[in-house]
Structure 1
Amino acid sequence: MPDPRVCLEALSALSGCRVESTPGRSQIQPQDLVNIVALREFYKQEGLQELDYPSIGTMSLQDPDPDEPDLYGPAPSLTAGPDPGPGPGPALADRKPVKLNPEDFFHPQYDYDFTRIQDGDRRFLRGNEQYVRPCGWDRAALRVTQRYADGDGWLGTGRDAWPVSYQGHGMDGSIILVRGGEPEDEPGYLEAAAARLTERRTQGRGVYSTPDVRLAEKFCKTFRSQVDGKKYKVLLQNRINPETRSQCQREDVWVVYIQEGLNDVQTRALVEDAIRPYGLLLKEA
C-alpha cells in the first residue's frame, strides 16, 4: 500500500476536503468518496457554487488558485471555526477536517502495485467487458466488501460483475471532446466534436467516467505531498452498473444520466446505484 499519509493527502486532493486520520468512527465511507467526486462535477455543471453532503456539511465547488503553495486539499471546502489548531499549513487553516479511520476505509489485502506492469496485448475482462488495467499506477484498495445489500458479486470477475471505470477531476460533458494527441493532429476535430454536443443524447446531464485509464489520466487531480515532497496524480477506480450507465457518442466514455426534477437525496441514491469505488490510484507526476 502507498504510504497511508500520502493516501489521505490524495483523498483530500480528490474530494476537496481536508481529510485527517482518526482512531474513531469515520465521517465518510468509500461510497461517500465517489459520491462527492461525482456530485461535485455534476452540480458544477448545473451552475451551483456549493454542495451539501450528509455528515460533512457545506462544500464549496469552486476550484482554487493553481499557484497557491502547499495545498494538497485543492478546493476551498468546509467552513472552519476561528481557531483550527495545528495542521498541514496556512493554506488549509480555514477548512474543517473530515475524519477518517484508515482501518475502516482501506483494505490492504487487495492492494496492487501496477507501477512496473505492462500488459501489452493481454486482455482482461470484468463483467464480460474489457478491463484496461491501471498499469503505471499504485492501487490502495478500499474496504467495500460486505457493504452492499446485493452482496459482492459486482466486485468479482464473472458475468455478474460490473465493468471497471475510472474517474478523475473535472469529468463532465467536456470529456467527449478529448482526443489522443494534439488538436492540430486532427484538423477540424473540435468543430466536429462541438457539433455532436448539440445532439440531445450527448449533451449529458449526468455523471461521467471512462473505462480507459489513459483518458482518465487527462482529468486526474495532482498534488504535492507534504509527507515525501513528491508530486502525485490521483484517480478513483470504480465498478459501474451496466444497467444504469449509457455510452456517449464516444465508445470510451460512459455517463449515468440524472433526470430533471430529482432532489439531492434522489440524485445521491442514483449515483450510489450506478457507481461503486474500490481503489484509490496514485502515480508520481
Structure 2
Amino acid sequence: MNNIAPITEGLDPTGPTPLRAMTGLTAPETLVFQAIHAAIVEQRLLPGTRLTEEELAAIYATSRMRIRRVLLALAHEGVIALPPGRGAQVACPTAEEARAVFEARRLIEAGLIASRTIALDEGVVHRLRTCRAAETAAARAHDRGAMIGQSGAFHIELARGLGNPVMADIIANLVARSSLIIALFQRDGAVCCRADDHDRLIETLSGPRPAAAAAMMRAHLASIEAGLEMATKPAPGGDLRTILGGRRGVEPVRDA
C-alpha cells in the first residue's frame, strides 16, 4: 500500500506502558494499540470519534483481524466503546463515570503516597522532574496534546516510583479515562492540571512527609474535577489518517 501516513516513531512494543490490556498482543498489534491509546490520552481522538476497522487497517497497513484485536484490548481499558451493530468509537464517559474515576484516583493515588515510609529515591525524583520538563516544554510550544500526555505520565511515573506495579497499571487506566472526561466536560478556561502542583508534589515527596504529600495529591485531583462541568458537549470528529499520522515519522506497521 503506497503513501501510508507514517505513524509509529518512538513507539516500543517492549516498552514500559503499564497496561494489562496489551497482554497477548503481538508486537505489531502493540504498536497500533500504543499509537491509538496515545492519541486518545492526548485528546487528538476525541470522545465519540468513530474507529472503523477498514480505515484503521489501511492507515496501519495491517489486517482487519489485527485491528479487531487492538480494538478489543482498548475496549478492555475502557477508552473505546463497542456498541453492538454500531462499530467502535472513542468512549464517551457519563457524568457518573467521571465522578467515580476521580473518586478512585483520589483514593488510590493519595493512599499510595500515604503508605510510603521513606522519601523517594533520587532516581525517581529525576524521572519526575524529566516529566515536568517535558510538560513545561509542551506548554511553551502550545502543544495541548503533548502537555496532557506528559501530565498523565507524571502520575503514572509517580506510581511506578512508589514501587507498586499493580497500582501503576490501575492509575495508567484511570489517567487515560480522565483524559476522555476532561475532553468532554472541562469548563471553558479551566486548567486541567496545574503544573506548579506537580512541582510542589515533587518537593514534598522528596522529604519524609507522606501525609502532607497525600493531602496535596487529593487537593490536586479535586481541583481538576472542580474544573469540569458535567454536561456532555458535542465532540467534533476528524480525519483518522490526519489525527493518527500527523505526529509520527517512520514506516507503518506491517503484518509479520
TM-score (ref. length: structure 2): 0.29
Instruction: Name the TM-score, length of structure 1 as normaliser.
Output: 0.27
RCO higher in structure (CA 8 A, sep ≥6): 2
Q: Which has the higher helix share?
A: 2
Greater strand proportion: 1
